[in-house]
Structure 1
Amino acid sequence: VLVRGENRVKLNGVHGACAARGRSLFQRCGQRFLVAPPGTSRIVGGREAPEGAWPWQVSIQIQSRHHCGGTIVSSLMVLTATHCFHKYIRSHFRVVAGLNLLSAPGNQTQIRSIREVQMHKDFNTATSDNDVTLVLLSSPFKFSDHIQPVCTPHNVTHEFILNFSHCFITGWGSSYYRGTLKNRLQEAQVELIDRRTCNLITWYGGIITENMICAGLESGASDSCQGDSGGPLQCYSEDEDRFYVVGVTSFGHMCGLRRRPGVYARTSRFSFV
């Protein structure tokens, strides 16, 4: 049952931060086995992601066509955006993990149907506030080098002390406004933007709520776009040597505009317990 308490979404019985282990009982969430930890070089704009670089990224599809992104937070649970499901027939959906090329899934991919969609009951279609949804799968993913769960911050305080050094957005979305989907998974490095800055009149003019976080570049050179909705904004904690999903791709004013960064549902405001 999806309930609300202290501005957090709760899913009874499952803790999303590390609810499911991988190949062994002691494996931690938020780790990549096919790509080294991020270095200090700057990535501006998007580039093709290496194979297996983001093992928690999934493609949520409607009859085999990519619709939205999502993030694995346990073997049976995927985090995504409510607006991805709000006006659609859920029986037509499926979730594909371990995917890099949309046109060529490969042997490492796993496909699951959806058992239940738990949309946040306070989702606001006008403001996009509380744009988070939990997708419960019909059967669990089998974790591998290509398929892993990400970590989730326990709360806002925990998010602050994680001391993130690198943040990335990923997805198969278009590289320009109203463009076509990308066949290969894309990645771009972004900066977290203070809410006060993002709410300035010359930015978003006060529409960014406490349940949202902005990320990108002031210049607009690095941004999410159509087709990236529901996917992860993930940040690396050097102290813990693992990735956390900090945001769920929600909305933005067009794509790549100056002072109009991507807006994400802030996961530290939502708890999965």
Structure 2
Amino acid sequence: MKSLLKALKRCAVAGAAALAVLSLQPVSAAQAAPAPVVGGTRAAQGEFPFMVRLSMGCGGALYTQQIVLTAAHCVGRTGPNTSITATAGVVDLQSSSRITVRSTYVYRAPGYNGDGKDWALIKLAQPVNLPTLKIATTTQYNNGTFTVAGWGANREGGSQQRYLLKANVPFVSDAQCRSYSGYGGLIPSEEICAGYTAGGVDTCQGDSGGPMFRRDASNQWIQVGIVSWGIGCARANAPGVYAEVSTFAAQIASAAAGL
């Protein structure tokens, strides 16, 4: 199973896999997906100011103004790393107002081996003066309507996008998710599934590491998941799988404090 999951990661350089986002009610087979398709619709400038594009072909979010939270499968081992460029502050990656900052250090989740624990931190050379995205510390928000955003492909096998796209998708229970072909290796204590039974709305290759988020009780954005793996893009009966942020919240905070 481990080798299969590695083949299905959603990093642009890792190949075509698919991801989704959650909503409040379990999805029935008859439930139809809304109008947006793979990758969704274009985000407005400033709508998700915490979004970051990483040069290896992944996404991420500003955990602090100098630390990006992304997926473990997007990075190498823990240690100094100046090879990654983070682009932030824009929807259009070619905008002249984009902010680009080099990395200085990578921290990959301890024990990451391709299954679960799919989170990592990237320290930037200097702070970025943009809003950050707080993370969930309990499972309180592991439900409801979630949003994902990224510059990944807008169709399975497609190319990366110039403009940031967004989409919404509904929650899929662990039991339902594990019933689908290829999802028996889901780790319920570390991963969350989401997507429409009928497919049609999803993230895709190149969206790995990006945040899955929703509104909290104060109507502020809160990150609940990290784009991790899936099968295809927006296929029926093939939900996306996310790293469950709340499971690792204490570890993430501790690691960030030491960077």
TM interval, shorter chain, is: 0.7 to 0.9
Residues 1:61 and 2:55 aligned together: yes
The TM-score, its normalising length taken from structure 2, stands at 0.77
Separation (CA, whole Å) in 2 of partners of 1:139 and 1:43: 40
Q: CA deviation at 1:216?
A: 1.7
**Paired position in structure 2 for 1:44:** 36
Separation (CA, whole Å) in 2 of partners of 1:207 and 1:270: 17
**Paired position in structure 2 for 1:149:** 132
Structure 2's unaligned 5+ residue stretches are: 1-33, 255-259
Residues 1:176 and 2:167 aligned together: no
Match among 72, 83, 96 for residue 73 of structure 2: 83
Given residue 133 of structure 2, which amino acid in structure 1 is its aligned partner? V
Distance 1:151 1:255, change over 3 A: same
Given residue 98 of structure 1, which amino acid in structure 2 is its aligned partner? G
Residues 1:118 and 2:101 aligned together: no
**Paired position in structure 1 for 2:24:** none
Match among 141, 148, 156 for residue 159 of structure 1: 141
Structure 1's unaligned 5+ residue stretches are: 1-41
**Paired position in structure 2 for 1:100:** 91
Separation (CA, whole Å) in 1 of partners of 2:212 and 2:133: 11
Separation (CA, whole Å) in 1 of partners of 2:155 and 2:70: 22
1:214-229 mapped onto 2 (5 Å cutoff)? 214-229=193-208
Contact 2:81/2:104 (8 A) holds in 1: no
Q: CA deviation at 1:90?
A: 4.0
> Percent identity over the alignment?
29
Larger RCO: 1 or 2 (CA < 8 Å, sep 6+): 2
Structure 1 or 2: more helix by fraction: 2
Distance 1:91 1:198, change over 3 A: same
Separation (CA, whole Å) in 2 of partners of 1:90 and 1:115: 5
Separation (CA, whole Å) in 2 of partners of 1:136 and 1:195: 33
**For residues 10-33 of structure 1, what are the alpha-carbon distances to aligned partners after superposition, in whole Å with 9 as ceiling and x for unaligned?**
xxxxxxxxxxxxxxxxxxxxxxxx
Considering only aligned residues, what root-mean-square deviation do their CA atoms show, in Å? 2.1
Q: CA deviation at 1:229?
A: 0.6
Match among 234, 241, 245 for residue 213 of structure 2: 234
Structure 1 or 2: more strand by fraction: 1
Given residue 211 of structure 1, which amino acid in structure 2 is its aligned partner? E
Distance 1:206 1:92, change over 3 A: closer
**Paired position in structure 2 for 1:198:** 177
Given residue 70 of structure 1, which amino acid in structure 2 is its aligned partner? G
Q: CA deviation at 1:209?
A: 3.4
Q: Which stretches of structure 1, 4 residues or more, deviate above 6 A after TM superposition?
A: none
Q: Helix, strand or coil for the counterpart of 2:170?
A: strand
Contact 1:43/1:188 (8 A) holds in 2: no
Separation (CA, whole Å) in 2 of partners of 1:195 and 1:44: 25
